[in-house]
Amino acid sequence: MCELIVDCPHSTPKWTDEGMIVLRNQNIRNGQLDLSSPSFTDTAGYQSRIKRAVPQAGDIVFTREAPMGEVCLIPEGLTCCLGQRQVLLRPKKSVNGRYLYWALQSPFVQHQISWNEGTGTTVSNVRIPTLKSLEIPRREPHEAKIADTLGSLADKIQMNHRINQTLEQIAQAIFKSWFVDFEPVKAKHAALEAGGSEEDALLAAMQAISGKVEMELLRLQAEQPEHYAELRNTAELFPSAMQDSELEEIPEGWNVSQIGDEVTVVGGGTPSTKNRDFWEGGKIHWTTPKDLSGLNDKVLIDTERKITSAGLTKISSGLLPVDTVLMSSRAPVGYLALAKTPVAVNQGYIAMKCDKSLSPEFVLQWCVSRMNEIEGRASGTTFAEISKKSFKVIPVAVPQEDLINSYTKIAKSIYKNIEISARESGSLANLRDTLLPQLLTDSCLIDIMEA
């Protein structure tokens, strides 16, 4: 089915801060190519890595190990080269490449990838001869229809993810403006310093919050008076001066606390896997950082593993409530999510119950904004880990309650929409995963689709 099967160079690229994109296995997940955190090499490095083949649109990249058996399609307009532990597949002109892409993800083919028929054992990497000998089910003349059906589900999932990314960026941008850069406060201060009135200062803060110029605010006042009044009320919550603190300059009237005094910080544990009573038939969500590593969005809806009530008794922090902020504390530090289901956690987490002054949405974005410091407080010889003790003492600037509530009202609505889209994407992914093996084997299902 392929006119070209090319192994990657068995060498580490020369990494650079910019230049030509190098695909890495970490960029390939769940059939998608994620270049939100790209890696680069220089022109010489790129040229050395494309000697065997230049990746082109429609090619399939296959990961040989760590992880094994992940695939993605090279999109139009992308100039790139392979990293390590990858193989480039170029379908023949007579083969529907998108069908091959889906077939490689099917349970039938994935079993061949992971199982060594010669020794009867699982394998940790795929050799080129094994890859070339994979049996791919053919469904001619239905392969284009199958690819279109599965592709439409994948497209909807990706659209949901893009929308959620935009929503997340909005929540981050507002938090940064209000609570990191203090833009409304500085706008008020600048207006007063320029000789303006209190009303001028308030107008400046409204412009900083909304991103609108004065004429646009006048139009908003005329056309949407309730929205204008809400914006004005929010602007009034910000002071017009800064004050020194042990943390840094912060808005007047705010106070500096420690995050451990503003949220309840807990860890977790793992019930003995040798005791079946803790696991078999369990329906209680139990999460490890692996669950967060696979998330597209910062909301945790489901977990890979479940425990029983007996297993839950072995975890001192118990069942954590919805909207607990979860942060991986090791390997690596810094995966984040809001729990959207009651959940127990393992020892790889710092979990924050927002039962005091700060809201879950505020705390989540505070963690994002302070991640460099959080990571800097991690230590360890085998892998970096941040302890609860080290985390609890990180300083946090605490605004007045009304301002926290104002941000939370906006952010909670954002994360509700993110949750709705994430749940829809989960249902679509389940449908896709159910249809995939059936479409490769069940002629009746194809007949129904084409009816």
* pLDDT class of 124 with cuts at 50, 70, 90: confident
Answer yes or no: is 107 within a domain.
Answer: yes
How much is the pLDDT for 442? 74
Answer yes or no: is 266 within a domain.
Answer: yes
161 exposed, middle or buried (CB, 10 Å; 0-12, 13-18, 19+)? Answer: middle
Q: Which H helix or E strand runs over 107? A: helix 107-114
* pLDDT class of 117 with cuts at 50, 70, 90: low
Answer yes or no: is 114 within a domain.
Answer: yes
How much is the pLDDT for 144? 93
How much is the pLDDT for 383? 85
* pLDDT class of 122 with cuts at 50, 70, 90: low
The number of folded domains in the chain is 2
Per-residue pLDDT, averaged over 10-16, amounts to 93
Answer yes or no: is 77 within a domain.
Answer: yes
Nearest to 297 by CA among 36, 22, 61, 38: 36
**pLDDT tens digits, 125-159:** 888 998 999 999 998 889 999 999 999 999 999 99
For residue 64, what is the domain's CATH number? 3.90.220.20
How much is the pLDDT for 318? 97
* pLDDT class of 294 with cuts at 50, 70, 90: confident
Residue ending a domain, choose from 114, 138, 162? 138
Answer yes or no: is 63 within a domain.
Answer: yes
**pLDDT tens digits, 301-310:** 999 999 999 9
> Could you say which DSSP state residue 246 is in?
S
Q: Where do we find the tokens 């390590």?
A: 84
Nearest to 375 by CA among 347, 335, 406: 335
Residue ending a domain, choose from 138, 169, 204? 138
How much is the pLDDT for 357? 92
Residue 373 has φ and ψ, to the nearest 5°, of -70, -40
What is the C-alpha separation between 389 and 117, in angstroms, rounded? 50
Q: Is the pLDDT of residue 120 over 70?
A: no
Count Cα neighbours of 286 within 13 Å in the Cβ-side half-sphere.
27
Residues of the domain holding 325 = 259-398
- 394 and 263 in one domain? yes
Q: Where do we find the tokens 């068995």?
A: 10
Answer yes or no: is 342 within a domain.
Answer: yes
313 Cβ partners below 8 Å, 6+ apart? none
> Could you check whether the bond before residue 225 is cis, i.e. omega within 30 degrees of 0?
no
Answer yes or no: is 197 within a domain.
Answer: no
Nearest to 418 by CA among 170, 99, 198: 170
How much is the pLDDT for 140? 85
**pLDDT tens digits, 226-251:** 999 999 999 999 999 999 998 889 99
What is the C-alpha separation between 439 and 257, in angstroms, rounded? 57
Residue ending a domain, choose from 398, 421, 445? 398
Answer yes or no: is 54 within a domain.
Answer: yes
